[in-house]
Structure 1
């Protein structure tokens, strides 16, 4: 099995600051968004759930993010103009893992097999997801959550389906509740402590919460930022990151073992895609019920690569963004200029990034670095 980079990331969500924005803008702009019965395929890429939608007559890849309260895009040209020829209407701010980011609210025309919207409310997301990630933002299923429909997340065949009466045979029910923001919470027990977790397909960790317990093996890192995207024109903070291994998790009466990311800067406990994708899920939003069935996979969490450093494409450069604290050869923010006598370019940056992120020890590699002087 191909190893993957050890990545701490929570995608930007407007959990606290925007949960009422959609209703305000909807009333002012005649939001005409409907949920419809249908099926939409997705693909899982680097623990991101990617869908393709039609926005302003353009095909756009978005992250299907149940942890987002509304759609969010990082391309202002995808927003529709109002009678004053403006695309972005309401100035606001969003609380993210990297602090507060100034943003705007506007409207988009969006078409998928499960949601059709004219003047759907969306946030402008001033984020750079990186050259190697060609998605344009987040798709929120909030409109579906607020409907009385059912939603089926099928990770065996990779599709989302909206309907009225799915077959629940062989599924088990677990406690679920809906929040006013349009997000979903599920009740689970982690390390023998029961808690409500935001069901967050936009987070690529199995679990993230404030968590410390020295009886579990942990890997400690420092990294740039805490999100998959980097806020434009904003200084990137340095974060301490810890992963605890093989922590017991109870889903109903079933015992699993999972990694837990210690999210010191987050206020919510989140259940992320690396755990979610090992099950099929059926949501009944009329009766506020959630059902699950484990897929026939050998392990809940496959081990990720044990690495000393991590590379990431930021501002079209290949940057050292993750390292273990005891590693002194490279610093956070150093730019990798050449690898094996080949310059890093837009044509090879993604392949070089993936290769480096599967190599534990970099000290013997042929790297040319531009040192970070900040």
Structure 2
């Protein structure tokens, strides 16, 4: 027993030291109570569509600044719905949040499933801005809890299965909640997309790979932000399923790495480890992409672990100019059955994240069709 306790302590220390990189502290409180529903955002149930500021960090007077969010197009502020309604339920690691578009409330909507990174034990701060943008475009967002402590329910990559089980329970719980009430926005399961950050990206890949046996919605589009299992048990993302042939060949998949993120320390990890296992997906349906830091203006744009992570009010030009743009374009292309200009393809629309206030382009996205991609 003493040896087992010692091994557990060492594992917890390792997890805390490796998986916490780039994860944000929670700001939303405790695990949701079963079946609760609130309108998130402002005290009013209706929030008029407005452009977000260029950044939550003020620039000095007269400084070159980040571009503001565009009004139209993928990643733009113009949206069909003014607000979202938050509901929550489940218990422990099986808990869930679900967000429905309102003002106006549609009868039904596509579904987007979001898997957060390690160390978000409560709330949904890591992906708040991405989810809110997604919901206001007319999509239901489902956010399974899947984790309540460093090694609960799973000890990271040592045994990922309990975290997968909790993610599945959270997704099913949210879907059951919606379908039990005809007054809720009903999920269009044939239009389901998945987003995963960091360890949540590893969970996302495995869920997409096993969607049939787990009775989950078929993935139409998948966006991964610096997926990583922590490199505790190996540098090649060993928590990924050994065979990823279960991911549909017609999925649209973009995998993003940051120049100062995972591959800065473990070059063969993250998307560089995943991509060689996706040979069954046609080249036109997938892309491996890299963001780089840009300090031309104020505040500078970083390219650390979690470029797409933004708590409430913390979005910047890389969020709407890259993350939201690509996410919108992937989902629209999956619905329309045509290749997107703003995602996957090596096009100016995909590479560009906009321009600084003096007209200088932001360092463009690097796009590759095969691994490795290097900083």
Q: TM class, shorter-chain normalised?
A: under 0.3
Which has the greater radius of gyration? 1
Alignment TM-score, normalising by the size of structure 2: 0.27
Alignment TM-score, normalising by the size of structure 1: 0.27
Structure with bigger helix share is 2
Structure with bigger strand share is 1
